[in-house]
């Protein structure tokens, strides 16, 4: 196996890669969990515009990655946080992304797509009213449903800034949900992912916020497929999961503890809507297949070495996790460059990527070690190291 010199404590240290994991190219059996991957977008490095100001997407490679996920049996959660929604990807480009993904899904039997609808075209501010927030949600929901899409109702920065009480949240969600054709997935994104969402549901105390969220779910039960919570707190997720009505799924968004939450316990389990599934798709597919076959030991054996990688990618500041997801796609040959929408590839340090490389190798997630080494050497050379 190849060896590469990696930076460590001010010097270069040799690191020999291990064998890549042997994961099936397609699912061995249907999954017994709903599994959605929140997917990244591939930037267009040939675009001449300023990447901080105007998103430029390589549409062909972006859609090819979604086809890769569908082949592995995973559903696509489109235009979400992993796609840099609100961190480089604006609403017009998000809508084009949704349209292209839905079109591509028509050619893939059984392909699942849910798409994020929010209010990100409405800038938060003290002058924004609750009615404006409702109209913004309505606009995005109508656009997605008009193309035949299913909706993930994303948390709203404008609502977080405008709401004066939990009742404002209940009013907004009741109004928006009451107009939709099909049940949606609610997304409760914690402030570790987006600081502008602090105090969501009208409470800084998460226990009281959960109470308000559950009240909203109970009041709109027929309109809700499930809820994804991204709080990185497994005990809180389990508590909420046990309080949900039986018809409502819990989609884990906990990229720290997803393995045990998906496995579940005697009182239930979580389905999955995870950004980390983008980066670990072959392993995730293999693990979910093992779980569906009743082989909990293989499920755990596949995912156990991945958890340290996921925790590294999603370390604070958590909102920069997209860099690790895109870096993994580049190392594994799914795109030809390590550029990101908005220039976000600069959001993590060289040392962060060096450790990520080692953790990915230990988890068996570098599918072609020789390619990964060549690209890692190139990355280090650009940093002036190696």
Q: Does residue 9 register a pLDDT over 90?
A: no
Give the separation between CA 193 and CA 320, rounded to whole angstroms: 8
Q: What is the largest CA-CA distance in the chain?
A: 60
Of the candidates 355, 284, 367, which has an alpha carbon nearest to the alpha carbon of residue 315?
355
Q: What is the DSSP letter of 53?
A: T
Between 265 and 49, the higher pLDDT residue: 265
User: Average pLDDT, stretch 170-189?
Assistant: 97
What confidence tier does 110 reach under pLDDT thresholds 50, 70, 90?
very high
- Taking only the tens place, the pLDDT of each residue in 262-275 is 999 999 999 999 99
Q: Residue 154's pLDDT is what? A: 98
Q: Does residue 258 register a pLDDT over 80?
A: yes
User: Average pLDDT, stretch 38-48?
Assistant: 96
| Token couple for 192 | 């570790």
Q: Are 186 and 227 in contact (CB under 8 A)?
A: yes
- Antiparallel, parallel or unpaired: β 35-38 and 271-274: parallel
Q: Residue 50's pLDDT is what? A: 87
The rounded percent of the chain whose pLDDT value lies above 70 is 100
Average pLDDT, the chain: 96
What confidence tier does 78 reach under pLDDT thresholds 50, 70, 90?
very high
The domain ranges of the chain are 25-345
Give the separation between CA 329 and CA 6, rounded to whole angstroms: 20
Q: For residue 276, how far is the Cα from the chain centroid?
A: 6
- Taking only the tens place, the pLDDT of each residue in 137-172 is 999 999 999 999 999 999 999 999 999 999 999 999
What residues contact residue 35 under an 8 Å CB cut-off, 6+ apart?
Answer: 73, 74, 75, 271, 272, 277, 284, 288
Q: Does residue 386 register a pLDDT over 80?
A: no
> What's the CATH code, domain 25-345?
3.20.20.70
Q: Residue 328's pLDDT is what? A: 98
Q: What is the DSSP letter of 353?
A: H
Give φ, ψ of 186 to 5 degrees: -80, 140
- Taking only the tens place, the pLDDT of each residue in 325-337 is 999 999 999 999 9
What residues contact residue 297 under an 8 Å CB cut-off, 6+ apart?
Answer: none
Q: Residue 58's pLDDT is what? A: 98
User: Average pLDDT, stretch 301-314?
Assistant: 97
Q: Residue 243's pLDDT is what? A: 98
DSSP string, 61-114: HHHHHHHHHHHTT-EEEESSGGGTBTTTB-HHHHHHHHHHHHHHHTTSTT--EE
Q: For residue 146, how far is the Cα from the chain centroid?
A: 24
- Taking only the tens place, the pLDDT of each residue in 209-247 is 999 999 999 999 999 999 999 999 999 999 999 999 999
């Amino acid at each position: 196996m190849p060896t590469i010199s990696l930076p460590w404590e001010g010097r270069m240290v040799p690191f020999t890669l291990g064998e890549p994991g042997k994961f099936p190219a397609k699912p061995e059996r249907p999954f017994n969990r709903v599994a959605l991957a929140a997917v990244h977008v591939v930037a267009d490095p040939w675009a001449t515009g300023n990447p901080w100001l105007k998103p430029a997407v390589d549409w062909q490679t972006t859609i090819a990655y979604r086809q890769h996920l569908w082949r592995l049996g995973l559903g696509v959660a489109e235009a979400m946080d992993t796609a840099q929604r609100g961190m480089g990807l604006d609403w017009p480009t998000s809508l084009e992304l949704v349209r292209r993904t839905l079109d591509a899904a028509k050619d893939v039997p059984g392909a699942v797509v849910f798409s994020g609808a929010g209010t990100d075209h409405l800038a938060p501010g003290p002058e924004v009213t609750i009615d404006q927030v409702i109209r913004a949600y309505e606009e995005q929901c109508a656009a997605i449903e008009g193309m035949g899409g299913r909706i993930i109702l994303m948390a709203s920065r404008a609502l977080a800034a405008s709401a004066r009480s939990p009742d404002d949240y209940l009013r907004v969600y009741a109004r928006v949900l009451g107009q939709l054709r099909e049940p949606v997935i609610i997304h409760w994104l914690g402030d570790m992912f987006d600081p502008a969402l602090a105090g969501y549901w009208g409470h800084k105390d998460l226990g009281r916020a959960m109470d308000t969220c559950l009240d909203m779910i109970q009041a709109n039960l027929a309109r809700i497929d499930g809820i994804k919570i991204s709080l990185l707190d497994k005990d809180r997720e389990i508590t909420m999961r046990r309080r949900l009505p039986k018809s409502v799924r819990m989609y884990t968004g906990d990229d720290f503890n997803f393995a045990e939450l998906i496995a579940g316990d005697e009182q239930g389990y979580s389905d999955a809507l995870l950004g980390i599934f983008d980066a670990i798709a072959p392993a995730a597919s293999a693990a979910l297949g093992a779980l569906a076959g009743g082989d909990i030991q293989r499920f755990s054996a596949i995912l156990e070495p991945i958890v340290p990688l996921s925790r590294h990618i999603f370390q604070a500041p958590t909102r920069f996790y997209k860099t690790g997801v895109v870096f993994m796609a580049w190392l594994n040959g799914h795109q030809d460059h390590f550029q990101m929408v908005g220039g976000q590839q600069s959001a993590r340090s060289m040392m962060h990527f060096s450790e990520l490389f080692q953790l990915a190798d230990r988890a068996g997630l570098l599918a072609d070690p020789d390619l990964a080494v060549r690209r890692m050497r190139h990355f280090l050379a650009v940093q002036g190291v190696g």
